[in-house]
Amino acid sequence: MSEIAFSNLERSKMIESLQTNDFDLVIIGGGVTGCGIALDAATRGLKVALVEKKDFASGTSSKSTKLIHGGLRYLKQFDIGLVRETGQERSVLNKLAPHLALPEKMLLPITEKGTFGKFAASIGLWVYDFLAGVKGIDKRKMLSKSAALKKEPLLDGKNLQAAGFYAEYRTDDARLTIELAKKATKYGAVILNYTEVVDFLEDQQVYGIIVKDAFSGQQYEIKGEKIVSAAGPWVDELRKMNNSLKGKRLHLTKGVHIVVPREKLPLNHSVYFDVQDGRMIFAIPRGKATYIGTTDTDYKGSLDRIVATKNDRDYLLKAVNDAFPDIELIAEDIESNWAGLRPLIHEDGKSPSELSRKDEVFEAPNGLISIAGGKLTGYRKMAEKIVNLVCNQLKTEDQKTFKKSQTRKIALTELPFQTNKEVSDYIDKVSTDFKQMNIDPFYAWYLVTNYGKTCYQIIEQAEKGNLSNFEINLLIAEANYCLQNEMVNTLEDFFVRRTGRLYFNIESVKKYKNEVLAFFAEKLIWNQERIQNEEKHLNELIVDATTYYDQEF
């Protein structure tokens, strides 16, 4: 198979490749786990295909808390193995993509009735650092009440006793997924979005899938020796289709985050704080915004339209106002929200927050392999587990041999950064250039942390236009880059998962949506019906991101 550019402009070539090749491994699901599996398998020499029914990261993998973290609260559940694995994976990912794993100092306020007392917090954070192999300045520190208030004056001084100060990493989950998919194609994987599985090819054993292209309606077959489902919340739906839904099943829970302007909650650091119901949530500054989350509730609604309810909103507002009593956030302060699902493994008698975040592999008698559960941080180890399983089966059945996992040392992006300091220096350089052109230096941070060093391609195009219209020039340059390099097919792909603007800069979406729509319509040769559908759908997304419903769909 020749390498095919990761662009929707090459869609027909990808479809042809999927139809005319037989693969060692066919993956269903283009989230972080599926794309991680594709990269691991392709780098070991397997012939790999991956299909996603919507866009990459359109499910759970764009709806997380956007942290690469070990899960401090899992120590309380004595889930030492999970904490060790995900804690160590933080540092691995930081080396693979420093601009997508940015150091984020966390404050853990200690209050009289909180989850952690002084002693428990000190020991817990020490164990957390030990398990994760944290070294140097990132090691935890215990702060007195006065020192904690100096770090974060907005904390509740009346109830505060002390605080822990420790390190996590902030990420963009959707961008991470996209980079994994792009890198997998560099190693020969054939990857395509908007391609839905409608049936399985089976002759005692599953040997392929029948898929439907979302745009043309065309159906075709993709054949592979091994079929893996990494479809997140849809894993059980595919097991039903495959007549293999037996034994353990998924337990879906919903998580909601709200976003407010940074000036409404001007935190100096991220804070991980207690809620009255015994849970803990985050407040995380990001660019010009601060986001708060997450909720954790059982979910029985639509898998294709997950929304925030008034109860979700009120829960988060009360939690943040209790933790920062001088802020007094109200519903009108919220700019946007996102809601997503966690595909956890059901355990009788356990509440959503008590369910394990460990991954689980299901092997059906007809050969379908499914994986669910797990955390964003642990995607690489989940991928390694699945590809080890596939390789062992292929070795037994076909006498094929493959390399061991290579992904621990494969940089995820082109022109990779080596360290977080290099990322910071690069941001400073771009910021200085922007200041000289009277451009908001915020865009330096935004572009580098989204696109890494390849952002220079976007900047060069944006600077060719009138600098007084830099924001729209930048948007069009971004759209062009994503069209050429990141398989964008819809306005939603661009505004939600490639740029994050619907969540973190929703005003720019409202202000410039028509210009971006016109650009895509021209480049992708959309007819009038498609233009109208795209406009309608984007408006619906804006409504869902700014509305709180009485109940779920």
DSSP sequence for 204-263: SEEEEEEEEETTT--EEEEEEEEEEE--GGGHHHHHHHTT---SS-EEEEEEEEEEEEGG
List where CATH 3.30.9.10 sits in the chain. Answer: 92-169+251-353
- What local confidence, expressed as pLDDT, does residue 243 receive? 94
CA–CA separation, 29 and 53 (whole Å): 7
70 near 272, Cβ under 8 Å? no
- What local confidence, expressed as pLDDT, does residue 70 receive? 72
Question: In 169-190, which positions are buried (b, 16+ CB within 10 angstroms) versus exposed (e)?
Answer: bbbbbbbbbbbbbbbbbebbbb
Residue with tokens 């290099």: 422
CA–CA separation, 342 and 14 (whole Å): 31
Q: How far, in Å, are 67, 130, 167 from residue 138 at the CA level?
A: 16, 12, 6
- What local confidence, expressed as pLDDT, does residue 2 receive? 47
Candidates 338, 311, 316; CA nearest to 327 is 316
User: What is the pTM (predicted TM-score) of this model?
Assistant: 0.96
CATH 1.10.8.870 corresponds to the domain 420-546:
yes
List where CATH 3.50.50.60 sits in the chain. Answer: 8-60+174-249+356-409
Q: How far is CA 307 from the centre of its chain?
A: 17
Candidates 104, 364, 394; CA nearest to 246 is 364
Main-chain dihedrals φ then ψ at residue 277, nearest 5 degrees: -85, 5
Structure tokens at 373: 């559960």
CA–CA separation, 270 and 268 (whole Å): 7
What radius of gyration, in Å, describes the C-alpha atoms of the chain?
A: 23
List where CATH 1.10.8.870 sits in the chain. Answer: 420-546
Main-chain dihedrals φ then ψ at residue 345, nearest 5 degrees: -95, 130
Candidates 68, 89, 87, 66; CA nearest to 169 is 68
Which pLDDT tens digits describe the chain residue by residue (553 residues)?
445 788 887 899 999 999 999 999 999 999 999 999 999 999 999 999 999 999 999 999 999 999 998 777 666 666 777 778 877 898 899 999 999 999 899 999 999 888 888 988 898 888 888 877 888 888 999 999 999 999 999 999 999 999 999 999 999 999 999 999 999 999 999 999 999 999 999 999 999 999 999 999 999 999 999 999 999 999 999 999 999 999 899 999 999 999 999 999 999 999 999 998 989 999 999 999 999 999 999 999 999 999 999 999 999 999 999 999 999 999 999 999 999 999 999 988 888 888 888 899 999 999 999 999 989 999 999 999 999 999 999 998 888 889 999 999 999 998 999 999 999 999 999 999 999 999 999 999 999 999 999 999 999 999 998 888 899 999 999 999 999 999 999 999 999 999 999 999 999 999 999 999 999 999 999 999 999 999 999 999 999 999 999 999 9
The total number of residues shown for the chain amounts to 553
CA–CA separation, 497 and 28 (whole Å): 19
CATH number for 8-60+174-249+356-409 (one of 2.102.10.10, 3.30.1950.10, 2.60.120.10, 3.50.50.60): it is: 3.50.50.60
The CATH superfamily label for domain 92-169+251-353 reads D-Amino Acid Oxidase, subunit A, domain 2 (3.30.9.10)
Strand, coil or helix: what is 437?
A: coil
Strand, coil or helix: what is 425?
A: helix
CA–CA separation, 252 and 346 (whole Å): 8
Strands (E), 294-345: 297-298, 336-345
CA–CA separation, 255 and 312 (whole Å): 9
367 near 205, Cβ under 8 Å? yes
